[in-house]
Chain A
Amino acid sequence: MIPRATVHTSAQPKDASDDIDPENPDTALYEKLGELTRFIDKTIKTISQFSAPMSATTEQLPDATTHLRDLRKLTEEGTHKVMQLVETIEDNRKRLYAQLDALERNLTGDNAAAVKAIRNGMAKDDKPLIDIITALSFQDLVAQRVNKLVTIVEEVEHKLLELVVVFGPYTKGAGKDEASKASEMLKQLEASKNTSINQDVADEILKQFGFN
């Protein structure tokens, strides 16, 4: 059995109780609150600095969902095209089988045997043809995964837009009107959570919050 090692590093977080002054517990609490406030302030500043690339990402997300939907449509169209061609081959073969049957009825001996051999040779392709059709069910599985990806991208887009509204430069030092506008935008985002957000809504939010 490997003995459990105890690692001490300078990065290891200290136990909160280490900082508490038993003489004055309020001081320790205020220090912790101050630390937390500084952390939140720093995070907001950092996110604000990143707002431009974040905006660019948000703008590109509807494009990503469009590409995914196109992918689903293209694979669907391609699958139908292949099936249509296989169905045409099958129809032709059906006609050929009927002609061979008619021919065989009027023939005897070696000639009849030759027609039968041709028929048997053709029949060998029956299974591969239906196997081509069933192999195309991959498209359904692709479409299901694309649908899942579209949902994920749309959720990420909602989250990014929420960040743009909450931390965007437009809200920095905002007055009453701007704050209420931000609140309204958040409500709109919340309401559209289970539906896909269209490019116009995304553009409007980005525009109103100072992104072009």
Chain B
Amino acid sequence: MPADLNMKILVVDDMSTMRRIVKNILKQLGFANMEEAENGQEALQKLRADTFGFVVSDWNMPVMPGIEMLRAIRADEKLKHIPVLMVTAEAQKENLIEAIQAGVNNYVVKPFTAETMQEKINKIFK
């Protein structure tokens, strides 16, 4: 099933530049409905207050890192079905294993290209 281009996507990153980059790539891929959060805690508040179809999140963030947010999403009955793509500079094998165990749907290592992002999104929604 291809991704619904109208679904609401939450872009989570503490760096404003990265949020803008990810939003631009998603826009290029045809998505139009995007919101932003600066950390995992803010993201969880937004996810609980609205209906989102997809989360793209950074790993390293103050207040609540991406991995903790991912665990909270998977532990929440209402949110656990939402696909999560982790975008991170953490290329270590241990982090990847930790993310997989926490229930990540896919993983993009920075710096990445628009093609890589598209490929990962296609895999998540195939």
Contact = CB atoms under 8 A, between A and B. Distances in A.
B2 interface: no
Contacts of A126: 28
A143 interface: yes
A139 B28 contact: no
Contacts of B13: 140
B20 A134 contact: no
A140 B18 contact: yes
Contact of A137 (B16, B60, B112): B112
Contact of A134 (B16, B25, B60): B25
B114 A137 contact: no
A115 to B, nearest CB: 24
A138 B111 contact: yes
Interface residues of A, number: 21
A137 B20 contact: no
A73 to B, nearest CB: 11
Contacts of B113: 131, 134
Given A83-B24, A144-B60, A131 B114 contact: yes
B87 to A, nearest CB: 9
A140 B13 CA distance: 10
A83 B89 contact: no
A56 interface: no
B28 A137 contact: no
Interface in B4-55: 13, 15-18, 20-21, 24-25, 28
A1 interface: no
A26 interface: no
Contacts of A104: none
B18 to A, nearest CB: 5
A58 B24 CA distance: 43
A85 interface: no
Contacts of A133: 21, 24-25, 114
Interface of A: 76, 79-80, 83, 86-87, 126-127, 130-131, 133-141, 143-144
